[in-house]
Amino acid sequence: MGSMADAGIDVLMVTQASSESSITVVVPENQGKKALGALQSTFELELSRSNVNSISLTDVPMAIVAIVGEGMAMNSGVSASFMSALAKANVNIRVIAQGSSERQVAVVVEGKDVSRALRSAHMAFTLSQTMLSVVILGGTGKLGSALIRQLNAQRDSLAKNLNFGVCVNAIASSSKMILGKNGACLATSRAGDMLEADDAQDLDMEALTAALEADVNPHRVIIDCTNSESVADHYEEWMSKGVNVISPGRKAGAGSLERYNAIREAQRANAVEWQYESSVGSALPILTTLQAVRQAVEQDFTENDIKEDLAGYDAALKIVILARELGLNISVEDVEVESLLPEELRNKEYTGTKEEVNAAILEDLKSLDEPMMERWKEAKSDDRLLRYKFVIDVPNGKCKCSLEAVDNSDTLYRLRNNENLVAFETSRYTTSPLIVKGAAAGPELSAAGMFADLLRLGRAFSTFQT
């Protein structure tokens, strides 16, 4: 320190490793080279004899963020709250120092992270309201539109009752996007109009990712309403940048196992959340007759391609998501699936608008009325009902979904209309399974599941406030 003082260097922070093998000195940026020269001159002999291995100056711009308060000495957990807030904001700490009075804790972070670090500290100690920066992909579709309606309806309640706000600063459709200038909140009630306006940009995932990275808000969330493979390919990159992801689609959760594991690793490494409960909660109606299929299509209970429902593919995706949560490394190809469609209909190509394609499929499905009615009558004669049922056999690593005739002792027997049911049979729930049951189909209910995921994130971020 004597050489620094002789050279007129202002020493801002000093830390030493417990092993006494290194010392870090923090000085003003404009004095960095002068400080380096002073130290190299002072330790010239030690450097030549390798008693001191090296003296270096980082070329990365750095900044100091400090919390100061009289009450810090009397309250435990203040430093933990500070460090946790920075970790959740994906801010890497390079140096830590605490005053002997216990009334100050200072950290050194990269200059590019200083705004995010400050905002996370302010939110952690309730100097400002917890705010979530939200990007909505697929914002003009049925699911995205339903979510935006729910956000608009609950915005005031979130601020008043849960003390966090939601700032939607980017919305995208399948071809256009609009970004809030410098991260400003968008008027979500006008999402459709804004995306059709002349100033809307062509959808550019790289530009969108750059805007996310530049956002200084520590709590950033992408809500993906697209169920797109190409969008799911970005999850790992977004999480590596500290962005949380909510995805009701099943492409990421049940797609490539390699991609799934990479996303999970990025999630763990960067302390972010991947919420996708709504990807399983949406129910599949039991489509056994042409009338049931037509009603499901009219009420938006089916997938965009209704053949995915009838072929069992969508159910298989949900099974894969649940099975992976249970520790099974499986892909959709590993699921034994009974399709309700004969092979010629599964492989048939349809052209035209969505309405024209659905109409053509419904017309072809008339050929299935008679055989399906026979299965229904056979089940009815034995006081059974037809249910499309999936089973995940964890001990044997087997998964299957099929149309089965169940009797009144089966939990699926009493399902109605658009209800969904999952029964958990475990070592603790043997004689009577743990049952989750309820209506779970259509865009409004799926959007409600996504909204619940967003609430969980908001509450989790708020827990760092003291």
185-208 pLDDT per residue, tens: 898 888 888 998 888 999 999 999
Per DSSP, helices labelled H in 241-305 are 251-254, 257-270, 278-281, 290-298
The whole-angstrom separation of Cα 246 and Cα 457 is 10
- Considering only CA atoms, which of 144, 171, 169, 168 is closest in space to residue 158? 168
Alpha-carbon gap, residue 324 to 25, rounded angstroms: 47
> Cα–Cα distance between 454 and 275 in angstroms, integer?
8
Site of tokens 């469609």: 341
Nearest to 321 by CA among 389, 264, 268, 267: 264
Task: Give the phi and the psi of residue 217 in degrees, each rounded to 5.
Answer: -65, 130
pLDDT at 184: 87
Rounded to whole angstroms, the Cα distance separating 265 from 252 reads: 14
CB 133 within 8 A of CB 215: yes
Kindly report the number of other CB atoms within 10 A of residue 99's CB atom.
13
Picking from 82, 1, 68, the residue whose alpha carbon sits closest to that of residue 39 is 1
Given this model, what pLDDT does residue 293 score? 44
- pTM for the complete prediction? 0.62
Q: Which two tokens stand for residue 377?
A: 């009558």
Question: Which residues in the chain come in under a pLDDT of 70?
Answer: 18-19, 73, 126-129, 277-306, 440-442, 462-466
Cβ neighbors of 30 (< 8 A, separation 6 or more) are: none
Q: Output the pLDDT for position 440.
A: 62
CA distance 100 to 298: 69
Element (H, E) at 390: strand 385-393
DSSP state of 23: E
Q: What distance in Å separates the CA atoms of residue 159 and residue 165, rounded to the nearest whole number?
A: 5
Query: Residue 11 is which amino acid?
Result: V
Let me know: does 303 contact 309? Beta carbons within 8 Å: yes
What is the CB neighbour count within 10 angstroms for residue 274?
18
| Cβ–Cβ under 8 Å, residues 170 and 177 | yes
Catalytic residue status for 307: no
Which member of 318, 348, 389, 437 is catalytic?
Answer: 318
Helix or strand (DSSP H, E) at 397: none
Per-residue pLDDT tens over the stretch 279-327: 665 433 222 233 444 455 555 545 556 677 778 888 888 889 888 888 8
CB 383 within 8 A of CB 283: no
Contact yes or no for 144/225 (Cβ under 8 A): yes
Residue 166, strand partner residues: 132
Q: How many CA atoms lie within 13 A of 93 on its CB side?
A: 17
Q: Are 350 and 364 in contact (CB under 8 A)?
A: no
CA 197, chain centre distance (Å): 29
The alpha helices in 135-218, defined as continuous H runs, are 142-157, 191-196, 205-214
In angstroms, the CA 105 to CA 116 distance is 17
What's the CA gap between 135 and 313, in Å, rounded? 29
pLDDT score at 284: 30
Sign for the pseudo-dihedral over CA of 286, 287, 289, 291: positive
According to DSSP, the residues that pair with 388 across neighbouring strands are 403
